[in-house]
Amino acid sequence: MSLRIRKLPSTRQTCGSLQKSSEVLNLNVGGEIYATTLSTLRKYPGSRLAEMCCPHAKVTTDSKGRLFIDREGTYFKYVLEFLRSERPPTQFVQEVYREALFYNIEPLVELLKNSPEMYGELIARQQFLAEVPNYWENIEVVMHLARADSVAARQSRVIVCVVKNKEDERKYLEAVNDPDSCKDPVVKFGPWKPSPTVSDLLYCIKLDVENRGHKVSYQPYKAGKGLLKCCHSLYELVFTWW
């Protein structure tokens, strides 16, 4: 038997009538429709899903009386599959990880956190970026400059200076202070102490810009007079808009 919660005028109601763990509940998660049992949703008592199904919990329903969760519905099926079988997903790992955090399903969070994909992102890459001064602030500056240079243009270009050590930073600062140097804005990344290379940081910049929906590539910058002294540290990020 398919149970549909009676819709109250305010669309806010309680789950006090949902007592039998074998009862089937229809859910609308961001427009995607799912059906499962209460026992499945209550599998982990501390999770948000379990709390939504506890007696007297206030919930929202859609026009057909289904429990409504205002969340991306595409990845909920992987969350639901874990609740049913305890098998973690093998695809869309980062997306499901975010959903597991939202629903506070700690066993799934821990499993995904220790997966190769998430371990590399959360432990290796993010710890490296934490050692690069002002990394995330610089990413925002890069995107701001790219947008400012995009008017009536198919592509825009942003110059970045990636300096691994203090010596490269010193050469860059000398070049910037040269009266004959290029006056175009340059966004400086570094220096840093961990082992990842300049190529590794350029890859991170590209990845994090693309994660914000942009199409970007990079290439060595052909420096002119003045900046020629540190041309090995200069790169050009090329944004393609259309």
What are 45-71's pLDDT values in tens digits? Answer: 999 999 998 888 888 999 999 999 999
Q: What is the mean pLDDT of the chain?
A: 86
Give the pTM: 0.67
Q: Is CATH 3.30.710.10 the right assignment for the domain spanning 2-70?
A: yes
How is residue 122 written in tokens? Answer: 């959360």
Q: From 59, 60, 69, select the one nearest 34 (Cα to Cα).
A: 69
Give me the pLDDT at residue 70, please. Answer: 94
Give me the pLDDT at residue 230, please. Answer: 57
What are 79-99's pLDDT values in tens digits? Answer: 999 999 999 998 999 899 999
Q: Which has the minimum average pLDDT: 15-19, 82-86, 169-173, 214-218?
A: 15-19
Domain ranges of the chain: 2-70, 135-240
With cut-offs at 50, 70 and 90, classify the pLDDT of residue 224: low
Q: From 161, 145, 130, 132, select the one nearest 209 (Cα to Cα).
A: 145
In the chain, % of residues over pLDDT 90:
64
Helices (H), the chain: 38-41, 48-52, 76-85, 93-103, 106-113, 116-119, 126-129, 135-148, 166-176, 198-210
Maximum Cα interatomic distance, the chain, rounded to a whole number of Å = 80
How is residue 196 written in tokens? Answer: 């990842």
From the number of C-beta atoms within 10 Å of its C-beta (0-12, 13-18, 19+), residue 120 rates as exposed
Which of the two residues, 181 and 217, has the higher pLDDT score?
217
For residues 187 and 216, give the distance between their C-alpha atoms in angstroms, rounded to a whole number.
16
